Chains A and B, each alone.
Chain A
């Protein structure tokens, strides 16, 4: 009886997994940007359908408005055709922000915990040596997670100037911290089995500003924290 129950339970479990992923099991042809846009539109339409209409004419019209190709940026990673990175324009911004990525034709939003793991798996993480994993992690950070930033490979002439002007404001009267040291993108593997990518990016606002980023991937390729 217990064995029979276990059998049923295993079938139930297998079906559960299938039902959760069945929508993604179908391979969609995303070889053209038009197809990617159409798939994004489909996802947006599904959401809009779930929201429904409100009777407010302007709101309903805004909800029906199709995705504007100009507000979407599609970036393909040449190292893997399985990954397509999507950027969207945020309110009041002319540049793009990371919205998510298609991995193996399934779309993951930027804040989905499994995004990085699936992307790195698609890049070959599971069979890679630690040295190869370091390269894959760097690739995914530069071309995926930070695809809409300018990653710095050499020190920018304004790098220290930006820090000095900021520290004058923040630490007026106190002892300013030591200026940061520029480094090109770096990857290290630590004793805990983590692969850590650190790098600097720049962004042009009223003037050039710089930001330091750190991404930690655990052994199974999941992103711990940025």
Chain B
């Protein structure tokens, strides 16, 4: 009786362990596919939004509170559905452009071009751009699933990851809220 119990217990443990390994293998494979699937979906959605651009209602507005030297946003609506916002932002030491794409009101993709000046504007010679950076943000269900800076994908452990993510989410919500 005792032996049978041990055998059954051993069997259960072995099967559980193997099931765990099997599930992990499957999960590891599908996790990458899942992200890629979301990215394909986002790209298609962005392409669809851009294709419908001519039919959207366009509204241009100045936006306060996102950059010191001012910002201007153009809102693209399909009926009451916000599809896209393009922005120009001016800081004391930079200028930037942004494109924000929305699905059912949620940010799904953002593309930001940041140009850093060599000096502060209004001080001496006109500033020159010394560094340019392109940032691409892919969101699924409100979660950042991919962040590209230039050609490089930033991992969530990267020291800039959280800062860039917070900035873009903040910009999006302020610009959206200014309409």
Interface pair A203/B150, CB less than 8 Å apart: yes
Contact status A58-B51, CB under 8 Å: yes
Complex: A59 Cα to B36 Cα, angstroms? 17
**Most chain B CB inside 10 Å of its own CB: which residue of A47, A56, A109:** A47
Choose among B48, B115, B148 the residue that contacts A61 (Cβ–Cβ < 8 A): B48
| Interface hits, B38-56 → A, CB 8 Å | 40-41, 43-49, 51-52
Main secondary structure of the interface of B (DSSP, over half): helix
A112 touches B32 (CB 8 A): yes
A130: Cβ under 8 A from any B Cβ: no
Is A186 positioned at the interface, with any CB of B under 8 Å from its CB?
no
In the complex, which residue of chain A has the Cβ closest to the Cβ of B7?
A: A1
Q: State in angstroms the CA–CA spacing of A13 and B15 once bound together.
A: 9
Give which listed residue, A2, A6, A20, A113, contacts B26 with CB less than 8 A.
A20
Task: Verify A62–B48 contact, CB threshold 8 A.
Answer: yes
Cβ distance B23 to chain A, nearest Cβ, rounded Å: 9
The residue in chain A whose Cβ has the minimal distance to the Cβ of B22 is A16
- Cα A92 to Cα B130 with chains together (Å): 21
Given A6-B14, A58-B48; A168-B36 close (CB under 8 Å): no
Q: Are B18 and A12 in contact (CB under 8 A)?
A: yes
In contact, A2 and B7 (Cβ under 8 angstroms):
yes
Q: Mark B127-146, 1 if CB is under 8 A from A, else 0.
A: 01111101010000000000
Report the nearest B residue to A63, measured CB to CB. Answer: B44
> Are A59 and B37 in contact, CB atoms less than 8 angstroms apart?
no
> Do the beta carbons of A90 and B40 come within 8 Å of each other?
no
Which residues of the other chain, A, contact B15 by a CB distance below 8 angstroms? 9, 12
CB pair B18–A9 under 8 Å, yes or no, is yes
Contact A5 B118, beta carbon cutoff 8 Å:
no
Set B7, B40, B48: member contacting A56, Cβ < 8 A = B48
Partner of B18, one of A13, A59, A211: A13
Q: Once bound together, how far apart are the Cα atoms of A113 and B29, in whole Å?
A: 10
When each residue 89-122 of chain B gets 1 if its CB lies under 8 Å from chain A and 0 otherwise, what string results? 0000100000100000000010101011111000
* Identity of the chain A residue whose Cβ is nearest the Cβ of B94 in the assembled complex: A169
B25 touches A169 (CB 8 A): no
Q: Residue-by-residue, is A58-75 near B (CB-CB < 8 Å gives 1, otherwise 0)? A: 110111010000000000
Residues of B close to A165: CB separation below 8 A: 118, 128, 130-131
Residue of A nearest to B117 (CB): A169
B35 within 8 A of A: yes
Contact check, A62 vs B45: say whether CB atoms are below 8 A apart.
yes
Q: Is the CB of A206 within 8 A of B36?
A: no
Knowing A16-B18, A111-B153, A209-B131, say if A169 contacts B26 (CB, 8 Å). Answer: no
Chain A residues 38 to 95 lying within 8 A of chain B, measured CB to CB, are 44, 47-48, 50-51, 56, 58-59, 61-63, 65, 90-93, 95
Question: Does any Cβ of B come within 8 Å of A118's Cβ?
Answer: no
Given A5-B7, A62-B48, A169-B118, residue A13 in contact with residue B21 (CB < 8 A): yes
Residue-wise interface mask of A (136-150) relative to B, using a CB-CB cutoff of 8 A (1 in contact, 0 not) = 000000000000110
Closest beta carbon of chain A to B44's beta carbon, Å: 4
Which residues of A165-217 are within 8 A (CB) of B?
165-166, 168-169, 203, 205-207, 209, 211
Q: Give the distance in Å from the alpha carbon of A91 to the alpha carbon of B134 in the complex.
A: 10
Known contacts A2-B7, A61-B48, A111-B35: A148-B151 contact under CB 8 Å: yes
Question: Which residues in B have some Cβ–Cβ distance to A below 8 Å?
Answer: 4, 7, 10-11, 14-15, 18, 21-22, 25-26, 28-29, 32-33, 35-37, 40-41, 43-49, 51-52, 93, 99, 109, 111, 113, 115-119, 128-132, 134, 136, 148, 150-153
A sample of 19 cross-chain residue pairs with beta-carbon separation below 8 angstroms, ordered by A number, consists of A5-B11, A12-B18, A13-B18, A13-B21, A20-B25, A51-B40, A58-B49, A59-B44, A62-B44, A90-B151, A91-B136, A92-B111, A92-B113, A109-B32, A109-B35, A111-B35, A165-B128, A169-B119, A205-B132
